[in-house]
Structure formats: structure tokens, C-alpha cells
Amino acid sequence: MTSNNAQTVSLTLAHINDTHSYFEPSSLQLSLNIDGQTLSPYVSAGGFARIATRAEQLKQQALQQNKGFLFLHAGDCFQGTLYFSLFKGKANADMLNALDIDAMALGNHELDMGNEPVARFLQRIQFPLLAGNWDVSQESAKKSIRVSDSENLVPYQPLTQHAGWITKQVQGTPIAIFSLALDKMADISNPDQDTPFLNAIEVAKATVRAIQASGVNNIILLSHLGYEADLDLAQQVTGIGVIVGGHSHRLQGDFSDLGLTKDDDYGQYVNQTYVVQAGYHSLSMGHCHITFNQDGKVIDFNGKNELLLGRRLCLDATLADTHQDDFHAKASEYLRQHPHVVICKKAPKLHNILLEKYIPKVRQLQETVVAKSDYPLRHIRIPDQNGPSVLAPLVAESFTFMMRKQGYEVDFAIHNAGGVRASLNPGKITIADIAGKLLPFAVPIGVYEIKGQYLAAILEGAINNALNNGVTGTGSGSYPYTHNLDFDYLPDNPIGHRIGNLHIRLQDGLWHAIESERLYKGTSSAYTMKGKEGYDAILNMHKYGKVTYFSMSDCFVEFLQSNPQRILQPIEKYR
């Protein structure tokens, strides 16, 4: 259906994706060839304050050219840095509000900790969060806070069976924007079980039909499906002018003469749809100038990704002193003239939000000491001749500690070795050491009940997977470390009979043999509870487990603050 007022419309579309809480600039090393000399300068790259500056420049240029302007975020603003580990989305809302985006797609990492952080995020944001294949219509009324109660969420519409969309008026002509996320979201993230995701292709087809039936032909899909899935969707679904993508961290364009990637050209054209994506971690920004004709086809497209840099660069001091200034000037000029680089200042408004609201708190927490150790705290995935990980069992113990503190009657904890990312040196242990190095992923902790007969299968499956013992494993990260469980692994036994002498320490402080039909209460990360990497037996849990709002680092920080001497005590027999 063609709208009665359909006409050609031109606009500048700016976009970012996978910013992952990288609000401050990053130090980035480039590789430049200047007069036959390879230079490797460090530059200050990206950050939200530079993104704001560049977006405002593009907006003003569009206004001067009598064009419209849209600014979109293709998902995954959560996770990544201490700004998320410590503030769980509050800083993200403040910074994105100040960036003045028109809309954002829901990404998979937004749901790493379940629906609750997204619901709180929705209460704070001043822009629509698009989630067109997320059905929240059956979300439980018993929750204290629900995503489905927010007017800022634009989800799936079950009655009409298509995505919700927003309409932006550009030069008096409507442009519809809808969003899709990975339909296998439950496999890689932690949406609540009462809010499922639907098939992206089918929802896309139905939504394009509904938008066109409403009299709007100009359609933009804000996607968090991943680059290859975007190309595939463009091939299968007609009627979408531009797909603005995320998830794959693809920086389209040739950045090889900066020592970075050479990717597909910006704006891949598939079945009359342009597909764009703009990198990751707030280093870069994409923009394109597009014109829709009256039928919603993009008849003019021109754009690129740009690396956003500060003015200063730091050269390696190995260059001869007499040539240092000369090379520095030439390298600076090379970057200023580069077609994929924009030198831009930090927007004061965005920079001041960080300076006034968040940087002082982050710096304070970076200096907050929760414990001290007189010796190295070693982490190793699979025990070797020097023993097992010292840290992983303590992390597992912290899960039990935190869940009991929240009122859950937990008997044991199991944690995969890959969930701990580093060893710790002797000396002071700060919150930043824990949230930024040891447990940098804000993965939530859950609780569950399971019959004793399955505990041996959980442990064996994880170890078999880690050791490639009779199975094709996925890596050493699955090796299980436990609290209040004790067992022997018998590698030469047949599969299914490799765990012996399995005991559990209950609330009475005594060790008991596992009873096959008894329900025991456990705690693990939400990732482990999904049954991945050899943990499939955990899916035999009684009914459904519950994922809490507390991350791994939350648990370990609280544990050490309450028990600072625990790391100085002997580690018992942990497997």
C-alpha cells in the first residue's frame, strides 16, 4: 500500500553498536607507514563525549543540507567495564540519554542478568528501546518490577503478530523503525522464562507487511542479530531499506593502513537492502546519507565508518630523537587527512556527566581494599602438579555465602573454572581487581534444587568435557570447582561411572553421602545453569531455577568484605 503523502525523503543516519559501557576513551595502538618507516603511535580513541561531538556535527550538516537526521544504537550497551559492573545500567541510561539517540535495539548482553536490570534501565531512559521479537505479554504479575510495564519498551505485538515499531517524521514523511534480536536469546543470555523470543525472519516478514499496510513504505531495521544473519535476513525479507546492525563487532571498511581491520565495504547491498555495522566499544561511529523514493526503496546511499580520535598521539621513543618531531608531525597530518578518521574534541556535557557523577565513584572503588594477601592467589583451570585453583573454590564459596544471606537455603555451589579470569598478586585486593580482572563479566548467580542422583553426572560431564576424556570437549573452562561437595574423579572408569566417594557438607557441618532421591539446593552462575559445556545434567533441576540480581563479582566482594581473613586460611579438598 502506498501512502497518499508518500514522497522522496533524504536523511543522514548515524549509528553505533556494542558500546559495552566504554564511556571513556580507549588507548589504541595504530600502525602507520610514514616515509617508509613503520610507526606505532598510541592514540586516544572514541568514548561517548567524542561520539556526541561527531553526532552533533552530522546533525548540523544535515540541517544545513535540508535533510533529516536519525541517530540509532544497535544494542549491547551493557557489560564491558567497571561502569556496568558497579552501576548495573544506571550509568548507561544517563550517558545514552545525554547522547540523545532516537532509539536503541535490545541486545543479548542487556539480558545477561535477567529482565530486572532491563526493567530498571527502562525506568531511566528517555528514548524507546526496541525489541520487536520479544514477547513480554505473559510476564508474571508477581514481579516487583516488570519490563512489560514500561512505555519505553516497544516489544512484539501478540494480538497482531508482528513487531511494534516507532515512526519518525523526516521532512514531513514517516520512517518506520523496528528491531529484532537473536531468537535463540535463551541460549546465550538470560531472559526470564515468561518472556520468550520469536523467530526473527517470520516476525520481520509480518512486520514489513504491517508497516506497509499502515501507509508507511520507508523502513529501517535496527538489528541485533549479527552481521551474517543481517545479510541472510536481507536476502529473505523484502521491503527494508537499511539494516543497522550489531552483535558481531564488525567495522565495515578498510582500516588496514591504520593497522586495524580490512572488512567488507560499508553498506553491503543485498536484495535492495543496505546492511551497515559500526564496530564496537565506542571507538567508531557509522553514518550514511540515504534517500528513500516514494515506494520505500533507497535510491541514493553514501556513507562510511569513522574512527574518532583525539588530537594527541604518542610515538614510540625508539625513533631517533632528531627525527621524533618530524615523524610526529607527519603522523598527525596523516591521521587528519585519513578518510576514515575524524579528529574531534570531547563534548563537555557528556564528559562532565562522567567527571561529576561516575568517575569519582569508580576511582574510589578502584581504591577500596576488601582484603589483603601475603602470597599469590593462583588460578588455574585444571589442577596440575602444583594443585588446583586457589581462587575458584573461594568464588564458589562466595556464591553460597551470598545466597544464604539473601535467604536461600543453599547446600552447595558449583562454578566453572572459565568463569574466573585471572590470578591475583600478593598485596591489597580492591573492588576493581575483582570486578575488573578476576570476575569481569556481570553474570548473575542463580539457585536451584536437584536430586542427588544427578550431582555425579554434573561433575563428571564437566570434567570429561574439560579433559576431552571420551568426549569432544569445548575447552578447559568447564572444569568444576565446588563448595561443600567432595568427590573423586576416576578417569579410567567407563563414562557415567567416573565420580566416586561423593559427599556433601550440610548445615550441620558434617559430611554426608549423597542420597539419590533427596533434593539438594545448589547455586551456580546463570551460565552454568544453562547446561552448557558438559553441564547438561544440571538441566534435570526440579522445576525451574531462579536467577538473582547478584553478579559473580557482587558475591565475591561481599564475601571478602565480610570475611577478609578467608583468603589466608588453608583451602580444603576442593576438586
The beta-strand segments (E) located in 127-226 are 129-131, 153-157, 162-163, 166-170, 173-181, 218-224
| pLDDT given at position 436 | 87
What's the pLDDT at 5?
A: 46
pLDDT digits (tens, 9 = 90+) for 139-165: 999 999 999 999 999 999 999 999 999
Name the DSSP class of 336: H
Residue 29's pLDDT band (cuts 50, 70, 90): very high
Per-residue pLDDT at 571 exceeds 60: no
What is the C-alpha separation between 55 and 223, in angstroms, rounded?
A: 20
pLDDT exceeds 50 at position 1: no
Q: Which residues pair with residue 524 across a beta bridge?
A: 446
What distance lies between CA 142 and its chain's CA centroid? 28
Q: What is the pLDDT of residue 442?
A: 87
Q: Confidence band (pLDDT; 50, 70, 90) for 315?
A: confident
Greater model confidence, 277 or 326: 277
Do residues 269 and 299 touch, judged by C-beta distance below 8 A?
no
pLDDT at 565: 87
DSSP string, 277-289: EB-STTSEEEEEE
pLDDT of 324 = 62
End-to-end Cα spacing for the chain? 65
Q: Residues 218, 296: contact at Cβ < 8 Å? A: yes
Q: How confident is the model at residue 453 (pLDDT cuts 50, 70, 90)?
A: very high
Phi, psi of 375 (to 5 degrees): -145, 160
Res 317 pLDDT > 70: no
The answer, yes or no, to whether residue 575 has pLDDT greater than 50, is: no
Q: DSSP character for 127?
A: S
pLDDT category, 187, cuts 50, 70, 90?
confident
pLDDT in tens, 526-559: 999 999 899 999 999 998 899 898 999 999 999 9
The C-alpha cell that represents 420 in the structure block: 574466573
Which pLDDT score is estimated for 316?
A: 65
pLDDT at 488: 97
Q: What is the pLDDT of residues 491-511, one digit of tens each?
A: 999 999 999 999 999 999 999
- Angle formed by the axes of helices 90-99 and 115-124, to 10°? 40
DSSP structure string for 405-466: HTT----EEEEEGGG----B-SEEEEHHIIIIIIS-S-PEEEEEEEEGGGHHHHHHHHHHHH
Tell me which residue of 437, 431, 447, 446 sits closest to 554, measured CA to CA: 431
pLDDT in tens, 341-384: 999 999 999 999 999 999 999 888 888 999 999 889 999 999 99
Q: Spell out the residues 6+ positions from residue 252 whose beta carbon is closer than 8 angstroms to its own.
A: 263, 264, 265, 266, 267, 268, 276, 277, 278, 286, 305
For 404-408, what is the mean pLDDT? 97
Kindly report the length of the chain: 575
The fraction of the chain above a pLDDT of 70, given in percent, is: 96
pTM of the predicted protein model? 0.88
Tens digits of residue pLDDT in 57-76: 999 999 999 999 999 999 99
**Section 289-299 average pLDDT:** 97
- DSSP letters for 340-372: TEEE-PPPHHHHHHIIIIIHHHHHHHHH-EEEE
Tell me if 399 sits within 8 A of 482, measured CB to CB. no
Element (H, E) at 228: helix 227-236
Rounded-to-integer distance, Cα 157 and Cα 163, Å:
6
pLDDT of residue 318: 52
Predicted pLDDT at 323? 57
Q: Which amino acid makes up residue 103?
A: A
Phi-psi region of 140 (alpha: psi -120 to 50; beta: other; left: phi over 0): beta
Residue 502: count of CB within 10 angstroms of its CB = 17
Question: Cβ distance 227 to 248 under 8 Å?
Answer: yes
Helix/strand/coil for 501: strand
Please give the average per-residue pLDDT across 306-331, as a whole number. 77
Q: Which helix (H) or strand (E) holds 291?
A: strand 284-292
Q: How far apart are CA 288 and CA 145, in angstroms?
A: 38
Q: Is the pLDDT of residue 475 over 60?
A: yes
The reported pLDDT for the residue numbered 3 is 43
Phi and psi at residue 14, to the nearest 5° = -100, 145
Residue 136: partners with Cβ closer than 8 Å, 6 or more residues away: 146, 147, 148, 153, 155, 156, 195
Structural contact between residues 190 and 111, judged by C-beta atoms closer than 8 angstroms: yes
C-alpha dihedral (136, 140, 144, 146), degrees to nearest 10: 0
- The predicted pLDDT at position 403 comes to 98
3-state secondary structure of 101: coil
Residue 321: per-residue pLDDT: 47
**Mean pLDDT over all residues of the chain?**
94
Task: Write the pLDDT tens digit of every residue in 91-146.
Answer: 999 999 999 999 999 999 999 999 999 999 999 999 999 999 999 999 999 999 99
All three cell numbers of 460, joined, read 563428571
